[in-house]
């Protein structure tokens, strides 16, 4: 029998949740506020929070100095392309692990996940040389491939978890009705796992959007995404915090908006199969 939760316990849990949420969001809020300050107010001591002279000068300077839309388009192509390519590869892989399991399935999954623990700098040099040899250094194609590869273990793991929650009897019934393997995956499995696939897509898109190490080391100008756009405001002349905050706000705004409007779908997908 479930234990009743008192009103005091609910209030305490709500207060704790809000406190944690505010603590996590505060750096983002501070960055947004700093983007509307002058450089003098951005480095003032003690710092000013709300009561300052609001200005859009930093955004004007950033727009004049950089081609924001080019960086934005590069980020959209790289994050979106790596997500789609990753799903094309991960769906069949997760299907085979979920519905045609072997004794080595868990070992393979753990091995795939262990690759995420590898320091990225350890493989930077060989990948850099490979990209030069193939002629894809500083190209969106090269970054799409890299982003797909580094996030592929997470995509496979998440899809495997979602697919395991689908009754195998449904797939067996489709086979008895004459469905081919391709039809089974496309018309039976994929529609039933839409919440899980959607949340996987969103998470992978966010991870690819926020990736800085590979984008800064494998691009120069042509394929530079928004992470390089932010880094360009760290110069030998010093850090201009107000303008850097404006650039950061412009870089994170699209993904914040996407996360806000898709939070229901994301939560639904991440909890898919948790309650029966």
- 97 lies in some domain: yes
Confidence of residue 168 (pLDDT cuts 50, 70, 90): confident
pLDDT at residue 236 greater than cutoff 70 = no
- 136 lies in some domain: yes
Least confident range of 14-28, 112-126, 172-186, 228-242: 228-242
Q: Is the peptide bond before 114 cis (omega within 30 degrees of 0)?
A: no
- 47 lies in some domain: no
More confident residue, 89 or 3: 89
pLDDT at residue 237 greater than cutoff 70 = no
Task: State the Cα angle at 203 between 199 and 207, rounded to 5°.
Answer: 170
37-94 pLDDT, tens digit per residue, is 988 888 888 888 878 888 999 999 888 888 899 999 999 999 999 999 999 999 888 9
- 70 lies in some domain: yes
- As a whole number, the mean pLDDT across the chain is 86
Strand partners, 234: 239
pLDDT at 181: 78
State how many domains the chain has: 1
Report which of 187, 193, 192 is spatially closest to residue 175, judged by C-alpha positions. 187
Give residue 174's domain range: 66-232
- 42 lies in some domain: no
- 221 lies in some domain: yes
pLDDT at 53: 85
CATH number of the domain that 110 lies in?
A: 1.10.3720.10
pLDDT at residue 5 greater than cutoff 70 = no
Report which of 150, 264, 255, 270 is spatially closest to residue 210, judged by C-alpha positions. 255
Confidence of residue 272 (pLDDT cuts 50, 70, 90): low
On whether the CB atoms of residues 137 and 128 are closer than 8 A, the answer is yes
pTM as predicted: 0.85
pLDDT at 276: 47
18-44 pLDDT, tens digit per residue, is 999 999 999 999 999 999 998 888 888
């Amino acid at each position: 029998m479930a234990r009743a939760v008192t009103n005091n316990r609910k209030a305490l849990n709500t207060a704790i949740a809000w406190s944690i949420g505010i603590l996590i969001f505060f750096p983002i809020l501070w960055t947004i506020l700093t983007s509307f300050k002058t450089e003098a107010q951005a480095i003032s001591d003690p710092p000013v929070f709300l009561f300052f002279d609001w200005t859009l000068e930093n955004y004007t300077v950033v727009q004049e100095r950089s081609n924001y839309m080019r960086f934005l388009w590069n980020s959209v192509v790289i994050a979106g392309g790596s997500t789609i390519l990753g799903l094309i590869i991960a769906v069949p892989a997760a299907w085979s692990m979920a519905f045609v399991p072997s004794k080595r399935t868990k070992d393979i999954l753990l091995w795939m996940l262990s690759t995420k623990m590898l320091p990225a700098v350890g493989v930077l040099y060989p990948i850099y040389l490979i990209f030069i040899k193939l002629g894809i250094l500083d190209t969106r194609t090269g970054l799409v491939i890299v982003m797909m590869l580094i996030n592929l273990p997470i995509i496979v793991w998440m899809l495997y978890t979602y697919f395991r929650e689908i009754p195998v009897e449904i797939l067996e019934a489709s086979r008895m009705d004459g469905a081919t393997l391709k039809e089974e995956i496309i018309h039976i499995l994929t529609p039933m796992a839409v919440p899980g696939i959607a949340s996987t897509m969103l998470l992978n898109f966010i991870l690819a959007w926020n990736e800085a190490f590979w984008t800064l080391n494998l691009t120069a100008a042509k394929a530079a995404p928004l992470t390089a756009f932010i880094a360009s405001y760290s110069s030998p002349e010093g850090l201009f915090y107000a303008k850097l905050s404006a650039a950061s706000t412009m870089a994170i705004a699209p993904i914040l908006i996407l996360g806000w409007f898709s939070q229901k779908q994301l939560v639904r997908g991440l909890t898919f199969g948790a309650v029966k």
